[in-house]
Amino acid sequence: MTKLFSLKGKIQNYAWGGTQFISHLLGEEPTTQKCAEYWLGAHANAPSVLKTNDGEQNLNSFLDSDLTAKLGADIANKFGRLPFLFKVLDVHDMLSIQVHPTKIEAEKGFKKENELGIPLTAANRNYKDDNHKPEIMVALSEFWLLHGFLPKANLTGILKNTPEFTSLLPIFETAGYYGLYKTVMEQSVEESNHMLQPLVDRILPLYKAGKLDKSSPDYWAAKAVDSAEDTSVLDKGIYSIYFFNIVKANKGEAVFQDAGIPHAYLEGQNMELMANSDNVLRGGLTPKHIDVPELLKHVAFEATHPNIMQGELQADGLERIYKSPAPDFELSQIILNNSDIYNSKSKTAQILIVVDGGAKVSEGDTVITVKKGESVILLANSSYQITSPASAVLYKATAP
């Protein structure tokens, strides 16, 4: 059985995407169309397409035809499908502030909304499936994100030094993270506009004059307002920009988002690997549905000390694995120079994408040459080799 195939993903044209990065990566002519994500996986909404001897086939139906052989018995029995979704993201405008439920919470929430008869496609549906959605990302450029609540002393400093927020300081001191967040998220539109408008009036001119630094929440709050379509209502997500850690990940550095950690991608490009789920509870910077009581149930109201991971270089000196506690996926980076040979065996399916240079992948009698932007999939129990005529940077998605 052939175990190596070339794979083509699908572009998602969300409004927050850029117009250049993904086109350049894929070797296509950029247009004015926003290209936010490039999906590699078997998600039913946008399955990747693989080339077989019988022509092109959607990855999901290809895998379903013999899940045990193609994913390996362990993963096939445990997940019943390819457990991960692999993406390239080009974040031009910031994404919504969000949190993902745990597996148990997702199962409960999905069941409850089914019992209530809320259609899966309804705008007010929180749980699209019964799965958790941990995510790991590796920066492909300088990447900015919001990640968890600031440690107490830092948040106290922000509330003290942001004149519009001084009335929130005693709330934080007495009622903690939960009390503070609940207070602002439950404000009426009039109340939040009243508190945020003077802030916006103060920082927007500084932003437009290029006087704000990306390490300051003022920069991102002003950018959010500047790029908002509706400026009559100020998005409550602005509070989170001040309450959360603003994290910069340099190229090759990774951040893991576990269940309960509120987060938002602000700007840059990354490789993202996640569990196969669409369960997102939103807390602002979005026109989409926000269910505040449900959100409050799932946010981890505690200080987060961001863990920016460098990954662990393996004994071969070529592969760097970014470990996470998620059982659904494992992300790694492989860097090859001309004489390097990367050898590996796959326990389950693996998806590889070349983000720089070019490489040759061999498995048994199958040899596929991949250049920048091209991808392959290897099925379970393959034994394969990758070389490069000059140099190559690849990212690999699999399950541990």
* Three-state DSSP state, 350: strand
Asked if residues 322 and 329 have their Cβ atoms less than 8 Å apart, the reply is no
Q: Is the dihedral of CA 272, 290, 45, 131 positive or negative?
A: positive
> Cβ 177 to Zn ion, closest distance in Å?
19
Name the burial class of residue 59, with classes exposed (0-12), middle (13-18) and buried (19+) by CB atoms within 10 angstroms of its CB. Answer: buried
DSSP string, 104-145: HHHHHHHHHHHHTT--TT-TT---SSS----EEEEESSSEEE
Nearer to Zn ion, 98 or 162 (CB): 98
**Minimum distance between the CB of residue 242 and Zn ion, rounded to whole angstroms?**
20
State the DSSP H helix or E strand holding residue 39, giving kind and residue range, or none if neither.
strand 37-40
Nearest approach, Cβ of 100 to Zn ion (angstroms)?
Answer: 6
Q: Provide the 8-state DSSP code for 17.
A: B
CB 185 within 8 A of CB 237: no
- In what helix (H) or strand (E) does residue 336 lie, and over which residues does it extend? strand 330-337
Q: Toward Zn ion, which CB reaches closer, 199 or 271?
A: 271
For Zn ion, the closer CB: 5 or 244: 244
Minimum CB–partner distance for residue 143 and Zn ion (Å): 14
The CA angle 80-294-244, to the nearest 5 degrees, is: 95
CA atoms of 177 and 159, how far apart (whole Å):
12
* Structure letter (DSSP) for residue 291: -
What angle in degrees, to the nearest 10, is found between the helix axes of 189-208 and 217-227? 100
**Both tokens assigned to 47:** 């399955």
**Do 40 and 117 contact (CB within 8 A), yes or no?**
no
Distance CA 260, CA 249 (A): 21
Which residue's CB is nearer to Zn ion, number 195 or number 271? 271
Residue 243 Cβ vs Zn ion, minimum distance, rounded to whole Å = 17
Least Cβ distance, residue 275 to Zn ion (angstroms): 11
| Closer residue to Zn ion, CB minimum distance, 107 or 278 | 278
Facing residues of 362 across strands?
367, 385
CA angle at 290 for the pair 287 and 291, rounded to the nearest 5°: 165
Contact set with Zn ion (CB under 5 A) = 98
Structure tokens at 30: 């950029």
Read off the tokens for 251.
Answer: 């190229």
**Residue closer to Zn ion, measured from CB, 7 or 97:** 97
CB 339 → Zn ion: shortest distance, Å? Answer: 40
The answer to whether the beta carbons of residues 340 and 388 sit under 8 Å apart is yes
* Nearer to Zn ion among residue 109 and residue 357 (C-beta): 109
- Residue 101 C-beta: closest distance to Zn ion, Å: 11
C-beta of 164 vs 272, nearer to Zn ion: 272
With CA atoms as reference, report the closest residue to 183 among 165, 166, 168: 168
Q: Which one of 81, 125, 202, 282 is the catalytic residue?
A: 282
282 is catalytic: yes
Catalytic residue positions, numbered: 282
